[in-house]
Amino acid sequence: MVNKQGDCFKLKILKGKYYSYTPDMLARDSVRLVTFKDPNYQYGNGLIIYQDWKDGVETYEKIKKFIDSYQKLNSCPSVNDLGATYNALIQVVGVPLGFPPRIKSNSEMKIIRDKEFQRALDYRTKYGTNQSSGGRKSEAARASVNEKKALRGITGGRILIDIQSIKQRVSNEKRIAEEKRVKMELDRELKIIEEKRIIEEKRIAKEQKRIAEEKIISDQKIAQQLMLIQNQSITFNEQTNSGDYNETPITDVNVNSGCSECTGEMRYDPIEVSSMPPSYQSQGYHKMPDGSLMKDSDMEKEPLNNNMKMAGIAGIGIIGLLLYSRSVKK
């Protein structure tokens, strides 16, 4: 049964667990791309490790699809060209998640192989050779793995894509992404500023409404007070015009105080007398309503004097009338 494996390989399953790919040589060579993973190994007669082939083919196809996403490759390139192109591309765009790191060269892999052999040699020198069957097999397996590492890695290779144009494209994409980020950040800040402005405008409008309502209430109180004053003024004028208003202030009348015009007898308030100095009380002085002092004898004479004055005025009037009548007769 033949299955399609990517664009460059076809897969055939043999005996349930072994793999065969076409083209066969490219599949075998693709193993050199797997420098980031230890080779598989098995004990026995040195049969081909088909799992290594599978790892190589999957790595080849994965790298080719990644390169095609930036610039389409027209064919299935050699392992060296594919590895060199991949290394150049990840220097510009970085290593994407889930992809292998830089593909090492064959010389780098041989250095790794030599370090592993030296480590194993130092171990045997220090602790001796493991004489057990399992120990010998383990050492043989590690030696086989190290030899396979030395066979991996690329040698030379051409860059099959225009790195400069891709670099410019990536730069533009980063610039556009940064502009979008800055714009989103600016829009977010402007939105916050606008929200704050709306809140402040609502607060100011609410405050102005409160002030206006307080002014209306104050104006109404002032108008009521003015109306009350105006009504009181109208009532006062009406009383004045009708004669009901008396400018003479009402004073308290002491019923105990005397009035010579009312009873003919002179009486005075003992409280007012007692409030005068003793020297004035002994001389018969009395405090008048206007605050002045007058002797009781003068107060008794005052009505008589008034009567005499009125009689004298009346007599003079009669004499004048008689003289006027006599002159008219003549």
Under DSSP, the state recorded for 32 is G
* 47 pLDDT tier (thresholds 50, 70, 90): very low
With respect to residue 262, please indicate whether it lies within any of the assigned structural domains. Answer: no
pLDDT of residue 105: 93
Q: Are 217 and 309 found together in one domain?
A: no
pLDDT of residue 77: 92
With respect to residue 20, please indicate whether it lies within any of the assigned structural domains. Answer: yes
pLDDT of residue 262: 47
Asked if residue 199 has pLDDT above 90, the reply is yes
pLDDT of residue 231: 81
**What's the whole-model pTM score?**
0.53
Asked if residue 1 has pLDDT above 60, the reply is no
Nearest to 56 by CA among 90, 81, 86, 21: 21
Question: What count of other Cβ atoms lies within 10 Å of the Cβ of residue 31?
Answer: 22
Are 154 and 81 a contacting pair, CB within 8 Å? no
Please report how many Cα atoms fall inside a 13 Å half-sphere around the Cα of residue 24, on the Cβ side: 5
User: What's the rounded mean pLDDT across residues 170-195?
Assistant: 92
Asked if residue 256 has pLDDT above 80, the reply is no
Q: Are 21 and 149 found together in one domain?
A: yes
Amino acid at 123: Y
pLDDT of residue 212: 92
Are 71 and 161 a contacting pair, CB within 8 Å? yes
- Which structural domain range is residue 25 located in? 2-161
Q: Are 71 and 183 found together in one domain?
A: no
Q: Are 196 and 282 found together in one domain?
A: no
* 145 pLDDT tier (thresholds 50, 70, 90): confident
Asked if residue 59 has pLDDT above 60, the reply is yes
Give the residue from 129, 161, 193 where a domain finishes: 161
